Amino acid sequence: MQLSQALPEALRDSRAVEVLERSLAQNRLGHGILLHGESQDYLEEIVRAIAATLLETDRDPFDHPDCFILRPAGKARMIKIGSESDRTGGEWPKNSMRRLVIDIQKTANQGGRKVGIVFEADRMNVQSANAFLKTLEEPPAGTTLFLLTSRPYDLLDTIRSRCLNFRIPAGVEGIAHPDWAEWTKDYHSWLNNLITGASKQTIPHIILGSYGLNVRFQTILAEMTKDAWKAHKEVLPEHVTAEEKDAMEAGMSRGYRKQLFGEIEKATVRFARGIEAANPGQLPVAALSHATQTLEHCAGLLEVNFNQSAALEVFFLKSLRIWASSASR
């Protein structure tokens, strides 16, 4: 089966998939592949399909003895190099960079190719990144290494330069949660209240409105993560530890949160440009730019473990000032 046929329809005609498929057919894939994009689900589907092709298996390639996987772990969700104190029987701990590097250096269990996959590669600490870089510089024969990330520029330049880079599109589907459309509608109404003029009488209602939007946002995110994780964990291999599961669930939540923040930005743009009925006119480009930069800044705070509810609260409070000031000019 061709690679594209094993992927969601939204990905089949993408330039990245076309090049990957051609490289596979010509046996010229290379030893280091960086897959980056907004959708963690799409990144995983693509690497799963490629790994199945490389390992020549019809089963889940993640269960193949020559497929080695590394994911973030622990509360900090970091990819660590592995501690000497955690070694048992001379073996480095599972789900550590040292264990991955040693495993991929060994002869293939089934005599074919080997595949190494690092999920959320931007979560490598300095020691892990340097260890991985050395492996990229002297790759084992018959081995293909994959890095998956939504933040490629958080990787070392030297790692990126040694990999073939493919940006995977996020697809065109919207948010599947049934309450998101209503949330967006209420967000537009809230913005409309800002540009019609904030006063001593309306400020309390605007503040309460932002609080309500924030609470509903957190509920939607939690429910999206819960439903997706429930389905995902049923197909996980038995050997996945509780710590790894916690990190995977947190990573899934992080992906959905980023997607939702992206939808807020789109909704803000539509409102400011007069696309939505709630705002029949055009608002200043400078105000829209300021609002977008504020949202991106708040999203950036989340990457350093800032409380997500507090980050969204900051965005709403700054939006009040941005749009109210814009309307008064």
pLDDT digits (tens, 9 = 90+) for 167-226: 887 654 567 788 998 999 999 989 888 887 666 777 888 889 999 999 999 999 999 999
Q: What is the rounded CA–CA span in Å between residue 226 and residue 63?
A: 24
Angstrom distance (rounded) from CA 138 to CA 140: 7
64: phi > 0 → left, psi -120 to 50 → alpha, else beta; which? beta
The tokens describing 24, both together, are: 């596979």
> Measured between alpha carbons, how far is 56 from 30 in angstroms, rounded to an integer?
17
* CATH of segment(s) 4-167: 3.40.50.300
Question: Lowest-pLDDT range, 107-116, 154-163, 279-288?
Answer: 279-288
pTM: 0.61
**For residue 11, pLDDT beyond 80:** no
Distance, in Å, from the CA atom of 309 to the CA atom of 98, rounded to the nearest integer, reads: 36
For the chain, the domains span 4-167, 180-327
Residues 6+ apart with CB under 8 A from 188: 267, 271, 276, 278, 279
Q: For residue 303, what pLDDT is reported?
A: 78
Rounded Cα–Cα distance for residues 191 and 315 (Å): 12
**Residue 228: alpha-carbon gap to chain centroid:** 14
pLDDT of residue 148: 95
Cα(132)–Cα(147) distance, integer angstroms: 10
- 164 pairs with which residues across the strands? 33
What is the pLDDT at residue 172? 45
User: Are 256 and 222 contacting, i.e. CB atoms less than 8 angstroms apart?
Assistant: no
Measured in whole angstroms, the distance separating CA 206 from the mean position of its chain's CA atoms is 32
Under a CB-based contact definition with an 8 Å cutoff, are residues 319 and 291 in contact? yes
Is 267's pLDDT higher than 70? yes
